[in-house]
Structure 1
Amino acid sequence: MDTGATLGFVSILPPLIAIVLAFWTKNTILSLGAACFLGVLLAGNGLMGFPDLMKRSLGNESFSWIFLLEIFIGILIAFFQRTGAIQSFGSIIERKKPSRNNIGITTWFMGMFVFFSDYFTPIFVGSTMRKVTDKVRISRDKLAYICDSTSAPVSVIIPITGWAVFISGLLIGMGPIADETTALAIFTKSIPFNIYAILSVLLVGLIVSGLVKDFGPMKAAEDRALNEGKVLSDKADPLISQELTNMEPYYKERFLSFGWNFVFPVLIIIGIAVGTYIFMGSAKTMEAFLGAAVVLGILMRVQGIPVKDIMDTAMNGIKGIMPAIMILVFAYTINTLSEDMGAANYLINSTESWLSPSLLPAITFILAALISFSTGTSWGTFGILIPILIPLSIGFSGGDINSIVLATIAAVAGGGVFGDHCSPLSDTTILASTGAGADHMDHVRTQLPYALTVGSIAVVAYLIIGVSV
């Protein structure tokens, strides 16, 4: 199918079926698998189209990268638990006797501090703070929300991340944007217009500090955790298995060195990720987790843990991360199917007649949000919309880079983030559920009202910007 082709309304049915089934059954893997199978039939590819689709979706560098990232994350979390590093971190926090609000604020700050990778943030913050937040009765749903809303929303408003490089790279050659320096400068100028991402991060701080009260399903989850001590709902199926959540330290009578078994591996992760970003222009997140897992495995042996136990721990870590990997398998498959069927093209064609200078930023945000939510990919949304809508906005502005252009760039970025951090199909949403040890659909269900609230404010703001220019 060529890049402009689409099967019309049928093209958006697979992701729509997946999302509806996921909310209805609360079984994300089953819902995604069923939607992929039905989508193949709707596309007219027959029964054998399903395995062929999976081979194309998974047999590539992109999936291999995130698959390996998940594997090394699972191993590292298992090592942290087997050495007692997570428990030791929790005991350090507990000695300070922090309040429930202070724990929430600490988690929020941690999410914003580790801004260089939207993959690293939710896993690191969630796995590090999970036992601490459990102790003060913060629900896993709230922890997943904090992890998720301080990952992609932060990454897209920091001009030194891979997100900034990717978006600015797409802008080169459009109107007066002649080179990388100009493109990055214009992206930086657009950051104040990224209302959705900025407000998403601020809302987390307001909620964890108590200045804004929880509402919707999140309020029910927090009331349950606070009053009943249940950080998970009775029917929850955490997106991390018992191999990781119930792992005991090897030395039960004492914790091993917190510095060597936690701080040092974390510094390795940050050092490799930040160092490769500075010197190579791309944060090597997967390699960072691999390096930390290998070093910590060696340190475990030096500290007297048998090789067999280390290998068993690593295998349990891989087993524990498998629920998240299975969701990613089907998420990648349905994304490929949606691309084949022309779902994004259908949405773009359906809104072209509405576009005008005053409505462009608002329509851009809505369109980006719909595409990213239905496909679970923000970068894919950027790649689809920026080449179409940014030249259009520059044309509307007479070739200048004015507020309409900057707001449109920000609307694509913010709308892409909307789906990336709240769609059940998104890899970062999956990683947030994994890191927090939360039920995936409970996380999506409790976070979505907050995302929709901020998204609605963003649409109104973009309408005001469009009218005022």
Structure 2
Amino acid sequence: MDTQEILSLLPAVIMLVLVLATRKVLLSLGTGIIAGALILNDFSILGTLKEIWKDFANIFYTEGAVNSGNLLLLAFLLLLGIMTALLAASGGSLAFGEWMIRRVKTRAGAQLMTVLLGIIIFIDDYFNALAVGQVARPLTDRHRVSRAKLAYYIDSTAAPVTVISPISSWGAFIIGILGSIFAANGIRDMKPLTSFVEMIPYNFYALTALLLVFLTALFSMDLGPMRKHEKRAMETGQLIDPDPKKAKVAGDLSSTFEPHEEGRVRHLLVPIITLIAVTVIMMIYTGFKASGSNPTVLTIFAETNVNLSLFSGGVVAVIVGFALHFTQKAPRANGGKILWEGIKTMLPAIYILLLAWIVGSIISDLKTGEILANYVQQSTLKPTMLPLVFFVISGIMALATGTSWGTFGIMLAIGAEVVLKVDINLLLPTLSAILAGSVFGDHCSPISDSTILSSTGAGANHIDHVMTQFPYALLAAIASAFGYLIIGMTEQLWLALPAVLIIPIIALLIAKAKNRKKVEHTV
């Protein structure tokens, strides 16, 4: 590895080390941006400033046109903040929490409902992260479930579900890539959709991550830093770390508004149902419109405009929320205050997202992902190690770049090219390993869009979410790595999959035994 390649990897390494050492995401992202811009411009100060300004400006205006996708997503986040403020001020959140607590009697039930919601809303990971948070938060708050755990449930049922669902934005994207790979390599006896379905049981990380959320919800499987957050929430009712040094949590308005005494469940459900309905309708409409003369379910979801759909759903939901709020009798919260407080609460998430986009652009210019991919392509790998190696490299790439989709785009083609030269029987397992590793890296990356939106949807501190999710992601990754090693050696799914799924159960039993010993020792 030459000096230039080492320098290209350096910003991602600096940023990740800083995040772990300081827990300050804005500082870490900012440092990564400056380091990357300096390297791109041969350490010229003026060139560095121009580079940062160019990447910032490109967020809003690219190649002579307004970057409508980014602007719509930012606008949707502001609308989500306003809707959150409306739900709090109208008393809808409080009423829904009280209504659900009479029906869901236990903390485990509240957590299980959140997990099920995350699985049901499988169309898109952005939509999942923000919609599930709005619905589940009033209930989990009342049952003293920490916001860090809520964020974990949201994040670990978003990408793991969408990456194995053919009828989703992720599934459609992956199926499209498979089609181009098969065509480029002259593979005529494999169909993209059929192959995607056959790849599902080989996506060990997605399956293990989903198993872990169920085990955690049902048996309070609190690993690592999650124990501290859950203990504090149960004993004191503090759902967020009270440390004043931490930045204001995006999406949290628990102490800003006095809930209206006439708040009813409809004041929460009607705006949220409106948001979901309008967003889904717009996703189908925009996908249908862009699919050409022969639209199918897959082309509709492949071509759908997710950001426009979210924005449209947000606008209509906020209008409906205000209409319901102003039908309530006085006293009611001032409309201007609702707007300002809602916008203000989303600013921390927007700051992180903006910096993450700039980092992503700089890392792309540095070709960090391509450098990692080239080393895989040029190396001489034993066939038995291919699924495991591609899983690990994809995880590192997604962690460094903060993008699953970018990793898919680079690594799936490379993986297919390498495997077809060695053993075609390992093609689908290796491609599944790439998908699995990409989601694992995305889950661990503080600059991932979906990770940022999951902490926003939950109203959790972003770095708390990253740090508390990591032990679960790592456990799922270790189990997956073991499975891919078995697949490479035996090519037998019936041996690998049970071995993968038994590891989280063993971890649960060990964690329970340790907790029991601690209790006995304390007594």
- TM-score, length-scaled by structure 1: 0.90
The equivalences for 1:295-444 within 5 A come to 295-303=320-328, 309-352=334-377, 353-398=379-424, 402=425, 404-444=426-466
> How many Å separate the matches in 2 of 1:466 and 1:273?
42
- Residue 9 of structure 1 pairs with residue 15 of structure 2: no
CA distance in 2, matches of 1:6, 1:33: 23
Task: Report deviation, 1:176.
Answer: 5.2
1:223 aligns with 2:220: no
Q: 1:341 to 1:306 in 2, by over 3 A?
A: farther
Question: SS at 2:250's partner residue?
Answer: coil
1:31-70 equivalences in 2 (<5 Å): 31-43=28-40, 44=42, 45-59=47-61, 60-70=67-77
In the other structure, the counterpart of 2:20 is 23
- One-letter code aligned to 1:83: S
1:137 aligned counterpart, secondary structure = coil
State the number of aligned residues.
Answer: 455
CA deviation after TM superposition for structure 1 residue 215, in Å: 2.0
What residue identity is the alignment partner of 1:54? F
SS in 1 for 2:444: coil
CA contact (8 A) 1:397 1:405 kept: yes
Aligned counterpart, 2:506: none
- The 5 Å alignment of 1:17-166 reads 17-43=14-40, 44=42, 45-59=47-61, 60-96=67-103, 98-166=105-173
Q: 1:135 corresponds to which letter in structure 2?
A: R
Q: 1:267 to 1:234 in 2, by over 3 A?
A: closer
Cα displacement (A) at 1:241: 6.1
Output the amino acid matched with 1:340. Answer: D
Alpha-carbon deviation of 1:223? 2.2
Amino acid at match of 1:451: A
Instruction: Report the CA distance between 1:58 and its aligned residue.
Output: 4.5
Q: CA RMSD in A?
A: 2.5
CA distance in 1, matches of 2:336, 2:434: 45
Identity of aligned residues (%): 35
1:249 Cα deviation from its structure 2 partner? 5.1
In the TM superposition, what whole-angstrom CA distance separates every residue of 1:343-394 from its partner, at most 9, and x where no partner exists?
A: 0112112333143432221111111111111111111111111222123323
**Is contact 2:397–2:407 with CA below 8 Å preserved after alignment?**
yes
Contact 2:251 2:458 in 1 (8 A): no
Would you say the 8 A contact 1:63–1:332 is kept in 2? no
Q: Partners in 2 of 1:451 and 1:346 — Cα distance?
A: 25
Structure 1 residue 303 displacement after superposition = 4.5
CA deviation string 1:121-142 (max 9, x = no partner): 2222223333432332222211
1:393/1:276 CA distance change after superposition, 3 Å: farther
Kindly state the Cα deviation for residue 246 of structure 1 after the two structures are TM-superposed: 2.4
State the match for 2:221 in structure 1.
Answer: 213
* Correspondence 1:187 to 2:187: no
Distance 1:97 1:388 in 2: 48
Partner of residue 275, structure 1 = 281
Contact 1:6 1:343 in 2 (8 A): no
The alpha-carbon deviation at position 216 of structure 1 amounts to: 1.4
- Secondary structure at the aligned position of 2:48 is classed as coil
In 1, Cα distance between the equivalents of 2:417 and 2:274?
Answer: 42
Against the structure 1 CA distance between its residues 32 and 248, is the aligned structure 2 distance closer, same or farther, given a 3 Å change threshold? same
The aligned counterpart of 2:508 is: none
Given residue 470 of structure 2, which amino acid in structure 1 is its aligned partner?
Answer: L
Q: Which moved more, 1:221-230 or 1:138-147?
A: 221-230
Would you say the 8 A contact 1:117–1:285 is kept in 2?
no
**How many Å separate the matches in 2 of 1:186 and 1:176?**
15
1:19 shift after superposition: 1.7
Deviates further, 156-165 or 227-236: 227-236
- Give the 3 Å change call, closer, same or farther, for CA 227–316 of structure 1 in structure 2: closer
Provide the C-alpha distance between the structure 1 equivalents of 2:175 and 2:105, rounded to a whole number of angstroms. 42
Q: Is the 8 A contact 2:73 2:310 kept in 1?
A: no
Q: Which amino acid aligns with 1:205?
A: F
Once the two structures are overlaid, the 10-residue window that deviates more, 219-228 or 373-382, is: 219-228
Q: Aligned partners of 2:205 and 2:485: how far apart in 1? A: 13
Mapped to 1, the partners of 2:385 and 2:120 lie a distance apart of: 35
Q: Which runs of 5+ in 1 are unaligned?
A: none
Q: Counterpart in 1 of 2:521? A: none
Partner of 2:518: none
Structure 1 residues 314-365: Cα deviation after superposition (integer angstroms, max 9, x where no partner) = 2321111010000000000001000101101121123331434322211111
Where do 5+ consecutive residues of structure 2 fail to align?
62-66, 288-299, 492-523
Between 1:79-88 and 1:277-286, the stretch displaced more is 277-286
Deviations 1:68-89 (A, max 9, x none): 2212221221222222211111
Distance 1:304 1:136, change over 3 A: closer
Are the counterparts in 1 of residues 15 and 29 from structure 2 also a CA contact under 8 Å?
A: yes
Per mean C-alpha deviation after superposition, the further-off stretch among 195-204 and 114-123 is 114-123
Q: For the residues of structure 1 that align with 2:274 and 2:250, how far apart are their CA atoms?
A: 24
Higher alpha-carbon deviation: 305-314 or 347-356: 305-314
Q: CA deviation at 1:66?
A: 2.3
Relative distance call for 1:269 and 1:369 in structure 2 (3 A) is same
* CA separation of 1:214 and 1:336: change in aligned 2, threshold 3 A: same
Which residue identity does 2:250 align to in structure 1? I
Q: Distance in 2 between matches of 1:433 and 1:285?
A: 18
Contact 2:89 2:258 in 1 (8 A): yes
